[in-house]
Structure 1
Amino acid sequence: MRFTRVLSAALLMAGLAAAPAAADSSPSAGPSKDDGAPTEAGTSFRTATEIEQGRRATANGSAGDYLYWSFPADAGQRPTVEATVKLPETHAAETWRIDVYDGLRRRQACQWGAQTRTAAAGTSSVELACVLRTVRAWSEPWADDPLPGTYYVRLTAVKLPTADLGVPVGAEIRVDSKDMGGAAAVDGSLSEPLVPGIAMTSGQEDDDSGSNAVLSAIEPEDGWSSGWWSDRWVWSGIGAVLAALAGIGGYALTRGSGRPSRVPPGA
């Protein structure tokens, strides 16, 4: 009975310890307000507009333009990119597409989502989505796994009638991430996130070229490589506690069964 009470108490404590870790695996909550959100997009990788996860950015452009945004993604996150293109009242059938690239400008495949969609003639808008693979803490040099750092989103029309070339369009984009928890945890990490230079400034003189590279100023809320803690640590601790209790219980049972039986007097 005593061993049973000890085991029950240990399981209750383990469950309470695992609860916060399970809560951390829910989708990350972004800011509810879009005050100060970007209202324009870049036209290349180097001029991509930086956006934060959980906030909706907008931009106006012309059909046929390339629109670029960038956002940070850390290890253990599974980013989801959603874009809406608002079209003019009169237009022919158009096909729009979003592509996501990592900090090395490698195109990343979408696990699922409507990455390419065709808007029928007269349609007021078209919605696109791309769910990326989970960002890994490290990878082999030859692999194209998503790694922590800056990611680029490119929005453009891939099939556009000549008559609609240059007509004004509006775009909305939002990036959210789900924390995948210990299931995506791996041993090892990058020494630095893949955050390439996005601009060159001439305000600070350099001895060699007279200009300095400016790195992306945006990063995850808790800093890079903030996902070192995962529920894998909790479940490892629970396993250790249960193994210790099982050892104690087995020892107690073995010791009890090994005692010599008492012979009553006068037998």
Structure 2
Amino acid sequence: MRAVRALSAALLMLGLAAAPAAADSTPSPEASGDGGGPTRAGTSFRTATEVEQGQTATARASTGDYLYWSFPADAGQRPTVRATVKLPEGHAAETWQIDVYDGLRRRQACQYGAQTRTAVAGAASVELACVLRTVRAWSEPWADDPLPGTYYVRLTVLKLSADDLGKPVDAELRVESKDMGGAAAVDGSLSEPLVPGVASRPEEESDDTSSAVLAGLEPEDGWTSGWWSDRWIWTAAGGALAALAGVLGYRLTRGPGRPRHVPPGA
């Protein structure tokens, strides 16, 4: 019995000693990075910083720099891009603009939103917004419709005084999407999403330096995750109603049934 008790005590002490080490190895919520977005921006399409939808990306830059981010958008989504630029004190009037490009680097028009705005002299910040058209699962080659894949956002200043060039600014970017459902469904889909370019990621994360790394972000449920929509429900309901209407129409047009034949002498 004494040997068993001694062994149990030793195992208990070993577990207590290992518990702090296990606790120290668990990353804290702040260190995991799950709740925040990237804190920098790229300077070209090639080095665009990836940001997930629903995250807020921040960056500190100089007035006159071109800032680039990229985000994934799938079929059936209508992305909304919002940007806020915190301006330095004592600045003159400045005009800022955001542009959105698809995976083929085609500039996408905004349905509505303040894509270009002018901040008056001394304004603390300027807010921009761009609501894109609904992303289609398939489109004609000659069309300029938004398709599933990577989208690029470029933020820059268009007009400013020479004295304000190079002053520090803080930029924030946030992308959110609305699911448009079966109303945006089309008969067709792309074989692969449009995700060209090289993602901006540390070199140590890539073991193979001989091949380019495609954009790593994608929708939560994967590409073409919106294959199911309420369009299927309406189609099935329409088919059932059509069958019911056919049965009722047959009953109405058939008329009264023929009288049963009674043999003579019955």
The TM-score with structure 1 as length reference comes to 0.79
The equivalences for 1:129-144 within 5 A come to 129-144=129-144
- Counterpart of 1:173 in structure 2 is 173
Contact 1:204 1:211 (8 Å CA) reproduced:
no
How many residues in Structure 1 have an aligned counterpart in Structure 2? 226
C-alpha deviations, 1:72-123, integer Å up to 9, x for none?
Answer: 0011111110001101121000000000000111111111110000000000
Deviations 1:136-164 (A, max 9, x none): 11112222111100000000000011100
More off after superposition, 245-254 vs 173-182: 245-254
Counterpart for residue 14 of structure 2: none
Task: Please give the secondary structure, in 2, of the residue aligned with 1:57.
Answer: strand
What's the counterpart of residue 69 of structure 2? 69
Cα deviation digits, residues 49-74 of structure 1 (max 9, x gap): 10011111111111000010000001
Give 1:43 deviation, angstroms: 0.7
Cα distance in 2 for partners of 1:157, 1:171 equals: 12
Aligned to 1:30: none
Q: CA deviation at 1:134?
A: 0.9
Q: Residue 213 of structure 1: SS of its match in structure 2?
A: coil
1: distance between equivalents of 2:121 and 2:160?
A: 11
* Matching residue of 2:244: 245
Aligned residue identity for 1:212: S
Distance 2:34 2:66 in 1: 24
What is the percentage of aligned positions where both structures have the same residue? 78
* 1:227 corresponding residue in structure 2: 226
Q: Offset of 1:216 from its aligned partner?
A: 0.8
* 1:254 positional shift: 4.1
**What TM-score results when the alignment is normalised by the length of structure 2?**
0.80
Distance in 1 separating the partners of 2:104 and 2:111? 20
Give unpaired runs (5+ residues) of structure 2: 1-32, 261-266
Counterparts of 1:24-43 in structure 2, within 5 Å, are: 35-43=35-43
The 8 Å contact of residues 87 and 169 in structure 1, kept in 2 or not, is answered as yes
CA offsets 1:193-231 (integer angstroms, 9 cap, x no match): 0001315969656xxxx7211011100011001111111
Instruction: Structure 1: state its 5+ residue gaps.
Output: 1-32, 262-267
Contact 1:62–1:166 (CA under 8 A) maintained in structure 2: yes
- Distance in structure 1 (CA, Å) of the matches to 2:78 and 2:228: 16
> 1:171 & 1:258 partners in 2: Cα distance?
80
Which amino acid counterpart does residue 48 of structure 1 have in structure 2? A
The 3-state SS of whatever aligns with 1:214 is coil
Tell me which residue corresponds to 1:164: 164
Deviation at 1:249, TM superposition (A): 2.2
Amino acid at match of 1:237: A
Output the amino acid matched with 2:153. V
> Which residue of structure 2 aligns with residue 215 of structure 1?
214
Question: Could you say if the C-alpha distance between residues 199 and 58 of structure 1 is closer, same or farther in structure 2, counting changes exceeding 3 Å?
Answer: closer
Q: Which residue of 2 aligns with 1:48?
A: 48
- TM superposition shift of 1:252: 3.2
Match of 1:22 in 2: none
Task: Give the counterpart letter for 1:227 in structure 2.
Answer: G
Q: Displacement of 1:251 after TM fit?
A: 3.0
1:255–1:244 CA distance, 2 compared to 1 (3 A): same
How far off its partner does 1:256 sit?
5.7
Three-state SS of the structure 1 residue aligned to 2:45 is: coil
Please list, as runs of the form range in 1=range in 2, the aligned pairs for 1:64-143 lying within 5 A after superposition. 64-143=64-143
The one-letter code of the counterpart of 1:127 is E
